């Protein structure tokens, strides 16, 4: 779908221009009868005027066209990029033509932009097919040989291999009709000793270029590797050539001059240090030669012999000092070892004594528990099974009648050593009281003074008080003192 065609009367016509570039109206070639004999400038095959659903005007080959026609084989994206570049150059005040070829056929520009006075020409190349760096540099050189500036444009998502090797940019293809083409790569700015990627609308970028506000600038070697955030990752890119402003180019030149100046200053410092080292070595060699010359005389030999004797004496003294230091260290090590042995022995004795005392305390505790268990068994053994049941029934009834609560013996409950081997009873989740603690074991449970205590009768109350129980909440139930009951 080329944008240009050859008219039999006016010659070249351009569908991207309002007057087709030849003073014609679109209606004079579109669906007219008889049909205008338009041909393709590339393959000379017949073409006819047509437009897309978005009202983009172009020329379409008639059926049976030659398969090798490059204009017909270009993609829709390729054609749209050329259309956008041509429109941007025209908006910037340039005269833009599509598919302009050299007279000798050495080049053909997708869009050739020419200034109104004819002094400036810029070729805009939409490069979608793969090409090597050597090939694209050779094509750039052919343009330069005729005084034509060039900018290579790629719409691919990944930077091509030639990106930054020649004056070039990479553009982001818009997702919708209301979005614009955006320069995503190739435009940069320099600051703080490094280059940074910049983005701009393609139309604005074209204006900056044709007005001379942007120019190609070659990055110096230390600044060619540039980082960029892609998604959430930092990635490295190498760019040898940027489109940038005069200020950025001058900033890089100033930075490079300063870098060279500092490198030269560092080189001079290193050279001066090397010279000083050479001079020092020369002085040492001269001093060594003078010493050797002096030693060759009788006086020098005598002095040398004396120095040897003094050195031997000094070496002997050092040997003796080291031996004395070793003996002193051995004594100190022996004293420390003896001290550690005595300390370990003392700790062992103390540990054995502590173990012995702990064993005695444990034996005493077990004997006390055994006696307390025997005393408690004797205390509760004085009651028959029916008497025990009678006592707990009285406790449960009294709690319900006096306090309106239900009491119980917890599951797995019974006599508790912590309450003088009485039986704790609970109301809900709290301790209600202690039933019939043993009088002889009250000294082991002083906390009974803070709890409700229940006994069968007044005699048991007297026994508990005689055993040392002091509490205002001591209750008995006047239960019969049967013959088998004997107070402890």
d(Cα 260, Cα 222) in Å, to the nearest integer?
11
d(Cα 127, Cα 135) in Å, to the nearest integer?
12
Q: In the predicted model, is pLDDT for residue 280 greater than 50?
A: yes
Q: Which pLDDT band, with edges at 50, 70 and 90, does 487 fall under?
A: very low
What pTM does this model have? 0.56
The tens digit of pLDDT for each residue in 15-36 reads 888 888 888 988 888 888 888 8
d(Cα 168, Cα 245) in Å, to the nearest integer?
15
Residues 6+ apart with CB under 8 A from 22: 7, 10, 11, 12, 13, 14
**Mean pLDDT, residues 195-199:** 92
* CA distances in angstroms from 392 to 379, 386, 388, 423, listed in the order given: 16, 10, 6, 10
The tens digit of pLDDT for each residue in 393-442 reads 999 998 999 888 998 887 766 888 889 999 999 988 889 999 999 999 88
Q: Pseudo-torsion of CA 365, 367, 370, 374, nearest 10°?
A: -130
Rg, Å, the chain Cα set: 55
* DSSP calls for 250-293: HHHHHHHHHHHHHHHHHHHHHHHHHHHHHHHHHHHHHHHHHHHH
The tens digit of pLDDT for each residue in 241-278 reads 999 999 999 999 999 999 999 999 999 999 999 999 99
Mean pLDDT over all residues of the chain? Answer: 89
Q: Count of alpha carbons within 13 Å of 71, Cβ hemisphere only? A: 25
CB of 122 closer than 8 Å to CB of 151: yes
β-bridge partners, 57: 51
């Amino acid at each position: 779908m080329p944008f240009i065609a050859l008219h039999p009367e006016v010659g070249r016509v351009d569908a991207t221009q309002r007057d087709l570039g030849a003073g014609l109206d679109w209606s004079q070639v579109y669906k007219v009868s008889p049909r205008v004999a338009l041909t393709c400038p590339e393959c000379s095959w017949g073409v006819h005027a047509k437009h897309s659903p978005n009202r983009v005007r172009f020329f379409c080959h008639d059926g049976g066209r030659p398969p090798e026609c490059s204009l017909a084989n270009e993609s829709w994206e390729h054609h749209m990029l050329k259309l956008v570049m041509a429109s941007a150059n025209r908006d910037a005040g340039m005269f833009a033509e599509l598919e302009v070829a050299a007279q000798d056929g050495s080049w053909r520009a997708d869009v050739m932009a020419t200034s109104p006075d004819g002094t400036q020409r810029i070729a805009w190349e939409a490069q979608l097919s793969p090409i090597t760096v050597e090939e694209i540099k050779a094509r750039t050189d052919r343009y330069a040989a005729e005084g034509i500036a060039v900018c290579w444009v790629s719409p691919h998502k990944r930077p091509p291999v030639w990106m930054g090797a020649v004056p070039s940019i990479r553009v982001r293809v818009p997702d919708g009709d209301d979005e614009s083409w955006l320069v995503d790569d190739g435009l940069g700015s320099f600051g703080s000793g490094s280059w940074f990627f910049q983005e701009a609308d393609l139309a604005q970028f074209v204006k900056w270029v044709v007005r001379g506000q942007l120019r190609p600038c070659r990055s110096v070697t230390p600044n060619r590797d540039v980082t960029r955030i892609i998604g959430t990752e930092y990635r490295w890119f190498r760019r040898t050539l940027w489109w940038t402003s005069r200020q950025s180019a001058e900033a890089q030149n100033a930075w490079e001059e300063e870098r060279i100046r500092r490198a030269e200053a560092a080189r001079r410092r290193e050279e001066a240090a090397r010279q000083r080292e050479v001079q020092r070595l020369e002085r040492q060699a001269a001093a060594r030669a003078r010493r050797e010359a002096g030693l060759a005389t009788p006086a020098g030999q005598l002095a040398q012999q004396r120095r040897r004797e003094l050195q031997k004496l000094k070496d002997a003294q050092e040997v003796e000092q080291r031996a004395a230091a070793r003996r002193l260290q051995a004594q100190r090590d022996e004293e420390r070892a003896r001290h550690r042995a005595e300390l370990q022995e003392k700790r062992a004795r103390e540990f054995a004594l502590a173990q012995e005392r702990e064993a005695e305390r444990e034996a005493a505790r077990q004997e006390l528990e055994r006696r307390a268990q025997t005393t408690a068994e004797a205390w509760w053994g004085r009651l028959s099974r029916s008497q025990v049941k009678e006592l707990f029934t009285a406790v449960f009834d009294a709690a319900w009648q006096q306090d309106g609560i239900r009491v119980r013996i917890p599951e797995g409950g019974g006599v508790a050593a912590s309450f003088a081997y009485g039986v704790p009873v609970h109301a809900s989740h709290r301790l209600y009281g202690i039933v019939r603690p043993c009088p002889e074991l009250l000294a082991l449970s002083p906390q009974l003074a803070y709890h409700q205590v229940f006994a069968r009768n007044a005699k048991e109350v007297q026994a508990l008080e005689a055993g040392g129980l002091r509490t205002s909440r001591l209750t008995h139930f006047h239960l019969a003192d049967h013959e088998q009951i004997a107070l402890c």
